Amino acid sequence: NQIIPGLPEDQNGKQNGNGAGKPTQELTTRQGHPVVDNQNIRTIGNRGPATLENYQFLEKMSHFDRERIPERVVHARGAGAHGYFEAYGSVGEEPVSKYTRAKLFQEKGKRTPVFVRFSSVIHGGHSPETLRDPRGFAVKFYTEDGNWDLVGNNLKVFFIRDAMKFPDLVHAFKPDPVTNIQDGERIFDFISNTPEAMHMITFLFSPFGIPANYRQMQGSGVNTYKWVNDKGEAVLVKYHFEPKQGIKNLTQDQAEAIQGKNFNHATQDLFEHIQQGQFPEWELFVQIMSDDEHAELDFDPLDDTKLWPKEQFPWLPVGRMVLDRNPINYFAEVEQSAFGTGVLVDGLDFSDDKMLIGRTFAYSDTQRYRVGTNYLQLPINAPRKNVATNQRDGQMAYRQDIMPGLNPHVNYEPSSMGGYVEAPRTGPDHEPHYNARKVRQKIDRQNNFGQAGETYRNFEDWERDDLIKNLVNTLAPAAKPIQDKMIELFTQCDADYGRRVAEGLRKMGSNGQHGPIGSSESGDAVRAAEDQSKE
């Protein structure tokens, strides 16, 4: 008597049509015509040639031929769930209204529905969930003011600080264009010329690069945003989700043992916990800084390769998020969901973080291509409030966008004939003032190594051991100049860090094999297996 999620239940809690009972609905075509034979195409005689007027067959097959849409260019493999966000009405000890007028945060106990999609980044839609990769943590809040998307990762920093570099970064991590295999040499060729990546690399090659599952990992907005209050005053903010389930990461060996048996373990873990009523929960914290350059810091608050030190900028709780409902249809809800950093509500704003601005273009751009012009009309993406827009038509437009009582002839604004009118302002706009030259330049306070070294020293011994092992395995097949450049960068982070990687590479000699990052396949395990087979 297995319960099938999403299948309607009768008044006794029983499901029909789950194999035990009788079917509840006769099959039709998508035109609504009854299907009386779903087994045989029409032929001239029962062995004969098929005819072109096989309409039912042609419709069935041609729809099947179009079942796939392009997968996400990054973050293709994912799992999603519905739930809610519950506000505390405060930010730490203070009323939240001091910093933001965003309605979802104001009232203690106020619940806002959410949809969350977790993901891995580099490989395709059915790739193993045990791979070393950042994990996506994207949250869509369906607020009364329209949607807010917080599109984050499990790791709190990123590889680069300028959006210009993103396509190159992704190309280096994606499979080689010739062999179609991910290759550590290509990755470290790029990274050895990208010193700002050292902090992220230090996290990625440690156990934090393979979270044990989606429930036991953190989420972070990574980029710097702003909060705006009812006076139009802004502060800089960073967002962090902390799992109530605790944080659990895997060593490379643990991940490989899981992968040998199950390459969907994270999706399965999330689905089954929710199905069994063990709802995962996260607390949402913010860090706040005044909205200026902070010359006193040795880093720039708009630089996403940096952590804001907790001692100076404490984590202030603002609410909690619970995931309590699985999707009914993976494609409709998870695959077609579309998150973007431009999707903010009143009281939330962009900072000048150069990555954030670049991201804000990329998301809706890719979604118009990946899902279609009218991706915002799909139920998973549509706001849970009236949409009153003159942006009409386009492929697959199905909403009529005409409200009862309004003049259906008016699809423009302004008009005196009864169309949509502009909404009233809810408070003064935040209007930052600029006085600078327009340039193409790096930021001043790059400090590429300081925090990476601190992160290295803050790891526990087993985490540091795993980090070194994974780096050595991945770097082993790389050309000597790339290895040397990387050792130099690790040494700048921390002398012990550089020394250990150099020593590991020396021991490995020229035995490294090209292959996926971190994998023991590319290093000592392959060697051990070969040695054994020779014996």
Residue 493 Cβ vs ligand HEM, minimum distance, rounded to whole Å: 21
Rg of the chain over Cα atoms, rounded to whole angstroms, equals 26
- Complex with ligand HEM: residue 369 or 412, whichever CB lies closer: 369
Residue 153 Cβ vs ligand HEM, minimum distance, rounded to whole Å: 4
Q: Which residues are annotated as a binding site for heme?
A: 363
Q: Which residues are annotated as a binding site?
A: 363
Which residues are bridge partners to 142 per DSSP?
Answer: 147
Degrees to nearest 5, angle at CA 425 with 419 and 427: 170
- Complex with ligand HEM: residue 195 or 498, whichever CB lies closer: 195
Closest by CA to 161, choosing from 187, 120, 196, 125, is: 196
* Encoded amino acid at 248, one letter: K
Eight-state DSSP code of residue 87: E
- Complex with ligand HEM: residue 91 or 151, whichever CB lies closer: 151
Tell me the C-alpha to C-alpha distance, in Å, between residue 89 and each of 56, 219, 338. 57, 21, 28
Give SS3 for 84: strand
Residue nearest to ligand HEM (CB): 136
Eight-state DSSP code of residue 164: G
- Complex with ligand HEM: residue 54 or 446, whichever CB lies closer: 446
Residue 236 Cβ vs ligand HEM, minimum distance, rounded to whole Å: 16
By DSSP bridging, strand 78-87 and strand 316-325 are antiparallel
Catalytic residue among 75, 82, 240, 273: 75
Closest by CA to 245, choosing from 266, 218, 207, 205, is: 218
Residues 6+ apart with CB under 8 A from 465: none
Q: Where are the beta strands (DSSP E) in 348-427?
A: 348-350
Eight-state DSSP code of residue 332: I
Residue 367 Cβ vs ligand HEM, minimum distance, rounded to whole Å: 5
Residue 122 Cβ vs ligand HEM, minimum distance, rounded to whole Å: 11
Catalytic residue among 82, 123, 147, 153: 153
- Complex with ligand HEM: residue 73 or 495, whichever CB lies closer: 73
Residue ranges binding ligand HEM (CB under 6 A): 72-75, 78, 117, 119, 136, 138, 151-153, 158, 163, 166, 222, 337-339, 355, 358-359, 362-363, 366-367, 370
Q: Examine the residue annotation and report whether 390 is marked as an active-site residue of this protein.
A: no
Q: Examine the residue annotation and report whether 75 is marked as an active-site residue of this protein.
A: yes
By DSSP bridging, strand 90-91 and strand 94-95 are antiparallel
Question: Is 211:217 a contact under the CB 8 Å cutoff?
Answer: yes
Instruction: Give me the active site residues, please.
Output: 75, 153
